[in-house]
Structure 1
Amino acid sequence: MQFGLFTVFDNYKEKFSRSHEQLMKEVLEQTIHADCLGYDSVWFAEHHFSEYGILTTPQMLLAVAAQHTKNIRLGVSIVTLPFKNPIQVAEDYALLDVLSNGRLNLGLGSGYLPHEFSGFNVDGKDKAFRFNDALAVIEKAWTGEKFSHEGDYYQFTDVQLEVIPKQQKVPTWIGALSPVGSTFVGKMGYNIMGVPYVASRSIEELKQILDDYKKAYREAGHDETKLNIPLALHTFVAETREEAEQVAKEHLNLYLDTRQYGRNAQFEDLEEREQVLIGTPEDVIARLHKYQEAGCDHVMMLMNFGGLPHERVLRSMELVAEKVMPAFTNNVIVSS
């Protein structure tokens, strides 16, 4: 099991009197702390036009983080390709991989928030086709060779990037956790990533989705040893369960009220479905073992949700590093 931090960058500057600049600084400090504590990865979300997510260009803040960290892998979750020129995406993230000494984790997606499509004046009806066309361009660009592309949405002639990624193969995920979407990505041969409570109502339902994804991946002839499935779960760890729930509940409900997608839910709903990691280290270990058995081998801990105070986030991170991570050292469970 790999451990990462995931930040959506939801910020409520009026409610908590926390400026956007202050949130950026807090997340940078959390990233540096995570690197020191031995976390495997950090993931920054990209969103637009809403307090639900204020980081519009993750590659900029990740480049800053690269200069202050040594080992932690730097992920974006996700780049919404239908909003972008794919050549620009290829250039920006190739440069980030170079600046970070080959630590880029690239998450890509087709988008899901109507107000973002409206803001960019992009028709979302053909987003999957636009995504596939853009992905093909990025794959060609990152070979470093001169290429041309004649797609339905993007056309380029004799283009060659001067800067390509340092990694020979940049680890790439596609945001998909629905039954249909994940199976399609499996056939493509890419890893998937996602937020369980959006696409499923239980760990058992999630396991079925992941099993079907792996089956499609395997039957298409892809190497199953390369699978890595990160799942995002809201996380807050304290010395007692009472403290964890008392601190986290209000902030989680605020996040859920702001998220603009998924089924209506509150803390009690997600706890009943076992779709949060809120409690003592022992509580979190037990629940993570269930996710591991379901097929998750990389947890993206969403810790700074709903304006949760910075000091609380740092302490939760420390408890995970001190008491949760050791329980998964050299611990491998093979799912059926």
Structure 2
Amino acid sequence: MDFSLLYFANREVVDPPQEYELLLRTAEFADDNGFTALWTPERHFHPFGGAYPNPALAAAALATRTRRIRLRAGSVVLPLRDPLTVVEDWAFVDNLSYGRVDLAFATGWNPNDFVLAPERYEGRREHTLEAIEEVKSLWAGKRLSRRNGAGEWVETLTYPRPVQEEPRWWLTCTSKPESFVTAGARGLNVLTALLFQSAEELAGKIALYREARERHGHDPAGGTVTLMLHTFVGESDAAVRAVVRDPFVEYLLSSIDLWKDQWTELRVRDPRKLAVLAFQRYFHAAALFGSVDTCTAFARRLEAAGVDEIASLVDFGVSGTEVLAALPHLARVKDGLRDGS
């Protein structure tokens, strides 16, 4: 199993620039300690995740501070972007990093994000799938026909040209089975999470993904399923709970207006009570929280369910000092799974 780091900082923090310092320092640790990738997101017009309005900007900064680790968009919200500028931005990062770029694509889901492209909201899924093919074509050096300012059709090629002939491509799948099937049919990798599904439900969707790959002529054993998990590994479960509980509850509260309607099984109206109940679920079944042994056991369960990579979200509000001190414990989980110990 591969291990990567993923970021989604809340911008309502005491010292906002420190969030970027944490990004850079954790990235350097991951680069030096055999992690696979760094995932930077796209988020608009909300403090939850609002540190990252363009994943290419963050990846460009990381390209100058790392040497070997992959730099991945997690994700580009394609209905809010033009494929031409997506390829321009990420080809720049590909050059800056000497060919270490990969991209995940998402449809977007929050209507307020679509003030950037309101006409695409209803058809965002179809638009994403069409735009993925345009991005792949442009990356490969093919021209895209567009109308210019004079009303004339011109053949457009993006610059700079990327270093890699082709990066690896992911489709972000929240919980709908049809998204996993689509990713499999198109030969894409999968980026997912346990926000609205259990590990057992995810296993069934991974099976659908593998079946779809086989039906459409792709290697059923190929393709990477990457799972985002909020992560903090420490000396003991109790010690970790004491560190993460309060900041994680506050982190959940900062986004409660975005996810509360998805958790209809928790019939609680008080926001803080709902966030506390959500924390209990995460701590016991949907996050990589606890001792090395606890987290290793959970990672093995996920590996058995078909997960190929864990993308550890580390910037959810715990102090930077504590996050950095916990990373060696996460590295022990990673190394233990790789050597079978």
- Normalised by the length of structure 1, the TM-score is 0.89
Shift of 1:330: 4.8
Residue aligning to 2:79: 82
Q: Which amino acid aligns with 1:310?
A: G
Pair 1:324 & 2:333 matched: yes
> What letter matches 1:94 in structure 2?
A
Match of 1:221 in 2: 217
Name 2:318's counterpart in structure 1.
Answer: 308
Give yes or no for contact 2:79–2:117 (8 Å, CA) kept in 1: no
Q: SS state of the match for residue 325, structure 2?
A: helix
Segments ≥4 residues shifted beyond 4 Å: none
> For the structure 1 residues 120 and 158, does the alpha-carbon distance in structure 2 shift closer, same or farther, using more than 3 Å as the test?
closer
- Cα displacement (A) at 1:120: 4.4
Alignment of 1:1-336 (within 5 A): 1-13=1-13, 17-19=14-16, 21-54=17-50, 55-118=52-115, 120-148=117-145, 157-177=154-174, 178-198=176-196, 200=197, 202-259=198-255, 260-261=258-259, 262-263=262-263, 266-272=278-284, 274-305=285-316, 307-321=317-331, 323-331=332-340
Q: Could you give the per-residue CA deviations for residues 252-304 of structure 1, whole angstroms, max 9, x where no partner exists? A: 222222331342651112234x2111110000000000000001010001122
The answer to whether the 8 Å contact 2:232/2:330 transfers is: no
Q: Which residue type is aligned with residue 77 of structure 1?
A: G
**1:74/1:124 CA distance change after superposition, 3 Å:** same
**CA–CA separation in structure 2 for the residues paired with 1:57 and 1:18:** 21
Distance, in Å, in 1 between the alignment partners of 2:64 and 2:112 is: 34
What's the Cα RMSD here?
2.0
Distance (Å, rounded) in 2 between the aligned partners of 1:53 and 1:71: 26
* Equivalent-residue separation in structure 1 for 2:207 and 2:221 (angstroms): 15
How big is each residue's C-alpha offset from its partner over 1:188-209, in whole Å with a ceiling of 9 and x where there is no partner? 11111111222x1x22111001
Residue deviations 1:122-151 (CA, integer Å, cap 9, x gap): 44111012212222221221121334379x
Kept in 2, the 8 Å contact 1:137–1:149? The answer is no
User: Is the 2:140–2:166 Cα contact (8 Å) retained in structure 1?
Assistant: no
- Give the match's secondary structure for 1:133: helix
CA deviations on 1:173-200 (whole Å, 9 max, x unpaired) are 01014211111221111111111222x1
Query: How many residues matched?
Result: 319
Q: Structure 1: any 5+ residue segments left out of the alignment?
A: none
Q: Which runs of 5+ in 2 are unaligned?
A: 267-276
**d(CA) in 1 for partners of 2:336, 2:114:** 43
Percent sequence identity is 25
Q: TM-score, normalised by structure 2?
A: 0.88
Q: Does structure 1 retain, via aligned residues, the 8 Å contact 2:187–2:218? A: yes
Where does residue 272 of structure 2 map in the other structure? none
Contact 2:79-2:120 at 8 Å conserved across structures: no
